[in-house]
């Protein structure tokens, strides 16, 4: 069955009119028309919560239908607000800690997606919808132009002011030490006590294992780790964990 | 300084006109006028994420301005969708576990706000905005009419079908045993292996301590705890933790 162009248009107008004058059809049609976008957003919201609460478990890429949702979450302001609230709770807690004068009251920070943002890489690679490309990622790291986050700068500076000893613990390799130091300073971070990077002996270890071992060493040296801030659960779990851990939102990738 | 009613109205109209004809003031006023609702929702969204990721730490009531937001979250469908996604990930994981024939492959469930919903109490008490009232709460528990969740019923039944041994571990007291058993059956749960309630010796312990000890005992008896599902971090953390933990959303209360 074929229609001429004008009869198609007439049919379309009659059909549209039928839909509009029938309240039952029109409300169903309206919800049908709205459904796809809102149900994708709703699913992606559920998925993001499941990822943030570590329910998803190991995952490699975000659900493909959520690329736009995650892009909007990151760029639209809600991510910044979410991080800001985390920073506020961290500062509130830090103020309750009795910091001694011996420099042994420590706070651990992860670097990537915690103090520095590799958003340049994620913008160019589908906000986590494309598989991780270590070569392209390291190109961004080696540029040393990663911006800091307003929230982490605020938290970092508040902790320094309160007298905490700052320990930076990153999955970045030793080879990235100098570019990392310069990038951190350019972004506004200063006065950390040590910067721990992955050495020869740490290759092949999971982040949880490597970071737990490093924290354990720090504790053996007499430090108390009051707080720990990271965007991955592998920054925060394992052993020698901090008294309080603060999970920075990151719906773009998962590191075991 | 006092105004008559009419001069107050004139002042108000002049002030409003001044605001409206000045683009700089008017755009600020517009964002000021729009700000409250969207910025409260945005803040409450941040707060809920911070609570779910355990960043808020111990908290007694939800932020008072978030009562409506939480009410809408719970009743508006998003909570159900969020729990459904958690259940799906739990089932996906459960299917990867090799369940033996000796009945020693266990899955632990919390009860309140995990298998059974005390929403009747929370509806009547501001969705977590009012301080916890144990007398009123226990009245709801003792009615034994708590409904189950679609998501937990789906997960529970899938686990039974896969051959897992189900262990129910609740903060409810021994005194609530029979009403709890009946309520669970009425809600559609069946065939659990044991129901562990707080006994005389468990009074005064934190949930984390009590639940860890109970899990530890279960492990000593030769069970492997593959999965654990609970709405509180105190259901999931501590020692003798499960291989995989599944955090059910609950923005209404916090149990240490």
Other C-beta atoms lying within 10 Å of the C-beta of residue B112:
24
CB contact under 8 A, A82 and B57: no
- Would you say residue A137 has pLDDT above 90? yes
- Would you say residue A117 has pLDDT above 70? yes
Q: Does B42 touch chain A (CB under 8 A)?
A: yes
Render pLDDT for B32-83 as a digit per residue (tens, 0 to 9): 444 567 899 999 999 999 999 999 999 999 999 999 999 999 999 999 999 9
Pair A106, A166: CB distance under 8 Å: yes
DSSP class of B66: G
- Would you say residue A168 has pLDDT above 80? yes
Q: Does B25 touch chain A (CB under 8 A)?
A: no
Smallest Cα–Cα separation from A72: which of A50, A35, A53, A45? A45
CB contact under 8 A, A47 and B78: no
pLDDT of residue A127: 98
| Residue B186 three-state SS | helix
Average pLDDT over residues B232-244: 97
CB contact under 8 A, B246 and A55: yes
B46, B47, B89 member nearest A50 (Cβ)? B89
- Would you say residue B112 has pLDDT above 50? yes
Pair A127, A67: CB distance under 8 Å: yes
Average pLDDT over residues A45-70: 98
- Would you say residue A159 has pLDDT above 60? yes
d(Cα B84, Cα B90) in Å, to the nearest integer?
10
d(Cα A84, Cα A131) in Å, to the nearest integer?
29
d(Cα B34, Cα A125) in Å, to the nearest integer?
35
Best residue in B43, B51, B82, B236 to probe A by mutation, most A CBs within 10 Å? Answer: B82
Give the tokens for residue A136. Answer: 């392209």
pLDDT of residue A38: 86
pLDDT of residue B37: 76
Closest-CA distance of chain B to residue A121, Å: 25
pLDDT band at A74 (very low <50, low <70, confident <90, very high): very high
CB contact under 8 A, A47 and B249: no
| Residue A166 three-state SS | strand
- Would you say residue A82 has pLDDT above 70? yes
List of chain A residues whose C-beta atoms are within 8 Å of the C-beta of residue B84: 46
Cα dist from A172 to A141, A142, A169, A179, A210, whole Å: 9, 11, 9, 11, 12
B52, B78, B247 member nearest A42 (Cβ)? B78
Render pLDDT for A207-249 as a digit per residue (tens, 0 to 9): 999 999 999 999 999 999 999 999 999 999 999 999 999 999 9
Q: Does A59 touch chain B (CB under 8 A)?
A: no
Report the complex ipTM.
0.86
Q: Where are the domains of chain B?
A: 5-49, 77-247
Smallest Cα–Cα separation from A79: which of A233, A228, A256, A231? A231
**Mean pLDDT rounded to a whole number for chain B:** 90
List of chain B residues whose C-beta atoms are within 8 Å of the C-beta of residue A247: 53-55
Best residue in A53, A56, A208, A237 to probe B by mutation, most B CBs within 10 Å? Answer: A53
Max Cα-Cα span within chain B? 86
| Residue A98 three-state SS | coil
Average pLDDT over residues A164-175: 98
CB contact under 8 A, B247 and A53: yes
Could you please report the per-residue DSSP string of A182-196? Answer: HHHHHHT----SEEE
B53, B57, B246 member nearest A244 (Cβ)? B57
d(Cα B251, Cα A7) in Å, to the nearest integer?
55
Strand partners, A169: A196
CB contact under 8 A, B247 and A54: yes
In chain B, which residue's Cα lies nearest the Cα of A51? B86
CATH topology of domain B77-247: Rossmann fold (3.40.50)
Measured in whole angstroms, the distance separating CA B3 from the mean position of its chain's CA atoms is 51
B78 or B18, higher pLDDT: B78
B42, B55, B81 member nearest A247 (Cβ)? B55
In chain A, which residue's Cα lies nearest the Cα of B227? A55
CATH 3.40.50.720 assigned to A58-247: no
Cα R_g (chain B), whole angstroms: 24
Give the tokens for residue A72. Answer: 């909007």
Q: Does A57 touch chain B (CB under 8 A)?
A: yes
Pair B188, B153: CB distance under 8 Å: yes
CA triplet B183, B232, B57: central angle to 5 degrees?
Answer: 150
pLDDT band at B30 (very low <50, low <70, confident <90, very high): very low
pLDDT of residue A37: 76
Helix (H), strand (E) at residue A196: strand A194-198
E-only strand ranges, chain B: 105-109, 165-173, 194-198, 224-230, 244-247
Q: At what angle do helices B23-52 and B67-75 cross, to 10 degrees?
A: 60
Pair A151, A86: CB distance under 8 Å: yes
CB contact under 8 A, B247 and A55: yes
Q: Does A52 touch chain B (CB under 8 A)?
A: yes
pLDDT band at A35 (very low <50, low <70, confident <90, very high): low
Give the tokens for residue A8. Answer: 């198609």
What proportion of chain A, given as a percentage, has pLDDT over 90? 85
CA torsion sign for B86, B87, B93, B99 is: positive
pLDDT of residue B38: 86
Q: Does B40 touch chain A (CB under 8 A)?
A: no
Q: At what angle do helices A5-21 and A23-52 cross, to 10 degrees?
A: 80
A57, A84, A247 member nearest B53 (Cβ)? A247
Sheet containing B244-247, strands listed edge to edge, beginning at the edge strand earlier in sequence: B194-198, B165-173, B105-109, B224-230, B244-247
pLDDT of residue B78: 98
Render pLDDT for B137-184 as a digit per residue (tens, 0 to 9): 999 999 999 999 999 999 999 999 999 999 999 999 999 999 999 999
Closest-CA distance of chain A to residue B126, Å: 23
């Amino acid at each position: 069955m074929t229609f001429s162009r004008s009869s198609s248009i007439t049919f379309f107008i009659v059909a549209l009119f039928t839909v509009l004058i029938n309240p039952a059809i029109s409300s169903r049609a309206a919800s049908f028309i709205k459904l796809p976008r809102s149900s994708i957003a709703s699913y992606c919201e559920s998925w993001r919560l499941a990822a943030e609460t570590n329910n998803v478990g190991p995952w490699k890429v975000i659900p493909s239908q959520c690329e736009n949702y995650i892009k909007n979450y990151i760029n639209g302001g809600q991510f910044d607000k979410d991080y800001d609230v985390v920073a506020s709770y961290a500062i509130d807690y830090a103020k309750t800690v009795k910091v001694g004068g011996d420099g042994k009251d420590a706070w651990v920070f992860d670097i990537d997606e915690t103090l520095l943002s590799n958003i340049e890489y994620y913008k160019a690679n589908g906000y986590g919808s494309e598989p991780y490309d270590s070569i392209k990622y390291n190109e961004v790291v080696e540029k040393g132009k990663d911006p800091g986050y307003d929230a982490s700068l605020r938290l970092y500076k508040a902790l320094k002011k309160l007298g905490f000893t700052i320990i930076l613990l990153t999955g970045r390799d030793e080879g990235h030490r100098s570019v990392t130091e310069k990038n951190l300073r350019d972004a506004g971070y200063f006065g950390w006590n040590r910067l721990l990077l992955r050495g020869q002996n740490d290759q092949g270890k999971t982040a949880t294992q490597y970071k737990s071992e490093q924290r354990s060493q720090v504790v053996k040296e007499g430090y108390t780790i009051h707080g720990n801030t990271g965007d991955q659960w592998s920054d925060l779990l394992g052993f020698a964990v901090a008294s309080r851990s603060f999970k920075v939102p990151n719906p773009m990738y998962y590191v075991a």
